[in-house]
Amino acid sequence: MKKTDEQLGMNKGIARRDFIQATALTSLSLMLPTSCLFTTNENELPINHYPPLKTGMRGSHDGSYETAHALAREGIKFGNPIDSSEYYDLVIVGAGISGLTAAYEYRKKFGVNSKILILDNHDDFGGHAKRNEFNQSPSTRLSWGGTMNLEYNSFSKSVLDFLTELGIDVNSLHKRLEFNYGNDKPAIWFDEDTFGKNVLIPGFSVYSRNENVLDQIDKFPLSEQGIKALKEFYRKDNNVLEDLSEKEIEKVLYKTSYTDFLEKYCMLPKEIIEIFIKSTDGYWGVQPHSLSVAEAISAWLPGSHRLGESASKVVGNEESEEVAMFPDGNATIARLLVCSLIPDCCPEANAKTIAMAKLDYSKLDLPKNSTNIRLSSTVVNVKNEDNNVAVTYVRNGKTIRVRSRHSILACYHSIIPHICPELPSYQKKAQQYQVKHPMLVTNVLVKNSKALDKLGISGAYCPGRMHAKVFMTKGVNTVGYQPNYEKDEAIPLMFWGMMEPPTRDVHIHNQLKGARINLLQMKFEDFEREVRTVLDGLLGPAGFNVTEDILAITVNRWPHGYSYGYLDLWDEKYRAGEAPHEIARQPIGNISIANCDAAASAYSQSAIEEAFRAVNELK
């Protein structure tokens, strides 16, 4: 029987608090007079402003997107700005990894004393490299709310050198990494709402043909016909493409969706194909019905054993690329960059201690700084003006204009036509082609891992739920973060995935836009209800008390998530220099463009590389 909100613990209210949770900081603020909570400069932040500790709705949180939506969706004009006397060498739009890297590189090219202003619409820096920090238990717990991996084997020498300058040793990080996205003790969980009853099957992974797979499939709450077909799919090794020509094989691999391949060539019924639909949610942000066979296999979905030797060589193998990782994801890179640009915010921090360092956000935007980071500031206009650049932004209800020698737009491409209208129409069209993939990362702090340990799992794939996977974040113990889980202390559980597109049989751009609308319409309570329902059904049988054992919930909502990378089923093969991202990133006057969109790649190394290019374009 479906539980009520009260039975799920929704009435507890612990996770709705979208404010700083640190007891010490809160107590300190209560002891101070109101006049002491803010500095004399209106651009500065209150002394207790420490966004990583905020729970509730994060990512695109309330207050971060409304101005941009008014500009882009409603055509609101922000005229008659207040002309500030501030003048900078460089104004950067976006304080993500690309924007912060651009500031770092600009100082190297134009001088360490260059005056730089970085504007960001969020209340924290880092962009999608979002740090989630919890102190509701005796020990601090860290997790990440967005970008997380360093796929260092694919990094260019310039990116590796850059990381070395920041003090980052990726090889050491990799050697100390024990985290595996819950795949060390995997499971699949069928929920009652979708499949009629709750069924947990430890040891099963949709990504692996392990020796017990056939016996495990027998436990699926599906039809006998479906179970038989799935067992046949995993058991057989015959090449389903053996009668096709090389050209026909290529068409199957690159122009046939993975789901159509499963149905047409592997004879799987739709009931079974639905089991795989959410398997690429977090990894790709696109579901298998919109991915080619080659793309799906490269994301470790099963099927290479049915393609034959020649096809498998074309697709490549399913081995995971080695990665390095920080305990708060790539937020560590952003934090190290901020400490380099503004040393006063954390003088004692370095690459070996950064995980537990507390950055002083009140130092980000002081008049004495050579680099200033101004948060909660949404840029609404950037234009070339008399060999300078005029940048207009909205903050605290005021529209303000500053000027600079140069500007770098390190924001996502589809907003640029609205903030930089002087761009030519063909460039705006290219920018709007790059529709980002909405993403969702929800971290739930629970009292301990006893229930998961009792069940013998480290995580589970949930084919019927909003989030595709849930897993413990144990095993990322580096750069000063050494949690002791032997004491049965609190642990973050990460719920990872994307929003289901409302319609599948439309162009991928429309799928992504529809998913974005759905994601933005959801309230925090919707996500809270979802994770409580899942944890109750998944862990409840092992003693997890959903009303008492959840300490905090942080929802990282990213309507504009992964950068759009070209897809086999939907995009043509562009000649060099003619792809939308290459047209979209062209500089104009003293304005250059960075960010992952400029590379059509959703990786942090791409954000760094594009910052290098953008700075090099400036004269």
Q: Measured at the alpha carbon of residue 597, what is the angle toward residues 592 and 598, in degrees to the nearest 5?
A: 40
- pLDDT at residue 46 in the model: 66
pLDDT band at 319 (very low <50, low <70, confident <90, very high): very low
- Name the residue among 543, 66, 568 with its Cα closest to residue 290: 568
**Which top CATH class is 51-129+326-435+572-617?**
alpha beta
Give me the mean pLDDT over the 351-374 stretch. 96
- In eight-state DSSP terms, residue 197 is S
- pLDDT at residue 322 in the model: 85
Segment 375-424, tens digit of pLDDT: 999 999 999 999 999 999 999 999 999 999 999 999 999 999 999 999 99
Give me the mean pLDDT over the 368-375 stretch. 98
- pLDDT at residue 18 in the model: 43
Distance CA 477, CA 479 (A): 7
pLDDT band at 47 (very low <50, low <70, confident <90, very high): low
Percentage of residues of the chain with pLDDT beyond 90: 86
**Cβ–Cβ < 8 Å for 251, 261:** no
- pLDDT at residue 212 in the model: 79
- pLDDT at residue 213 in the model: 84
- Name the residue among 126, 593, 551, 184 with its Cα closest to residue 361: 126
Query: Where exactly are the structural domains of the chain?
Result: 51-129+326-435+572-617, 216-315
Tokens describing residue 91: 């104004």
- pLDDT at residue 13 in the model: 67
Distance CA 205, CA 193 (A): 21
**Cβ–Cβ < 8 Å for 405, 374:** no
- pLDDT at residue 619 in the model: 95
pLDDT band at 589 (very low <50, low <70, confident <90, very high): very high
Distance CA 269, CA 266 (A): 9
Distance CA 371, CA 599 (A): 26
pLDDT band at 26 (very low <50, low <70, confident <90, very high): very low
- pLDDT at residue 249 in the model: 94
**Cβ–Cβ < 8 Å for 530, 467:** yes
pLDDT band at 12 (very low <50, low <70, confident <90, very high): confident
Phi, psi of 542 (to 5 degrees): -100, 15
Alpha helices in 119-223 (DSSP H): 157-165, 170-175, 192-195, 213-217
Instruction: Please state the length of the chain.
Output: 619
What residues pair up with 372 in beta bridges, in sequence order? Answer: 117
**Cβ–Cβ < 8 Å for 63, 375:** no
**Cβ–Cβ < 8 Å for 86, 374:** no
DSSP reduced 3-state for 354: helix
Give me the mean pLDDT over the 299-327 stretch. 79
Distance CA 205, CA 213 (A): 8
- pLDDT at residue 14 in the model: 62
What residues pair up with 111 in beta bridges, in sequence order? Answer: none
Give me the mean pLDDT over the 290-315 stretch. 88
- pLDDT at residue 40 in the model: 35
- pLDDT at residue 210 in the model: 74
Place of tokens 């709310």: 145
- pLDDT at residue 42 in the model: 60
Distance CA 558, CA 500 (A): 14
Place of tokens 């695109």: 60
Count of other CB atoms within 10 angstroms of residue 235? 12
Count of other CB atoms within 10 angstroms of residue 239? 17
| Terminal-to-terminal C-alpha distance of the chain | 67
Distance CA 41, CA 465 (A): 47
Average pLDDT across the chain, whole number: 92
